[in-house]
Structure formats: C-alpha cells, structure tokens
C-alpha cells in the first residue's frame, strides 16, 4: 500500500526535526527543485527548437515580441 501524506503531515514531521536536520532538509529540497527546474527548462528548449525547425515559429525582434505581448 502506498503512503499518502498531506502537506500538513509533512510540515508537522518537519517540526519534529532538529535545527541541523531542518537545514539539511531545506538544502536537499533546494537542490531537487533546481534540478527539476533545470530538466523543465531543457524540455522547453527542445520543444522550442522542434517548433522552430518545423516552421511553426519565426524569429522576431524584441520589439515585435513586446508588441505582441502588450496587445
């Protein structure tokens, strides 16, 4: 059976850690977040390159992009 913990359960468990353990938990979570975001960015770059190579998007100047965003 799979363990399912709520966010509140996890926070309560973290409250029971020592200060050193809390600091290490924060460091581990930060490294994992950085790696997860790095993987997301790499996937977005690959998708953007595929779109560009297939002709689905065209190069644009900063001014053109800003005009599209603001319109």
Q: Which distant-in-sequence residues (6+ apart) come within 8 Å of 5 by Cβ?
A: 13
Residue 57 is predicted with a pLDDT of: 85
Residue 40 has pLDDT above 80, yes or no: yes
Q: pTM for the whole thing? A: 0.67
DSSP the chain: ------HHHHHHHHHTS-HHHHHHHHHHHHHHHHHHHHHHHHHHHHHHHHHHHTTSS----HHHHHHHHH-
Q: What percent of the chain has pLDDT over 90?
A: 80
């Amino acid at each position: 059976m799979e363990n399912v913990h709520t966010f509140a359960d996890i926070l309560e468990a973290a409250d029971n850690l020592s200060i050193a353990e809390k600091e290490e938990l924060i460091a581990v979570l930060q490294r994992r977040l950085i790696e997860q975001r790095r993987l997301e960015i790499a996937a977005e770059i690959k998708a953007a390159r595929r779109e560009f190579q297939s002709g689905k998007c065209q190069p644009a100047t900063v001014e053109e992009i800003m005009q599209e965003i603001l319109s």
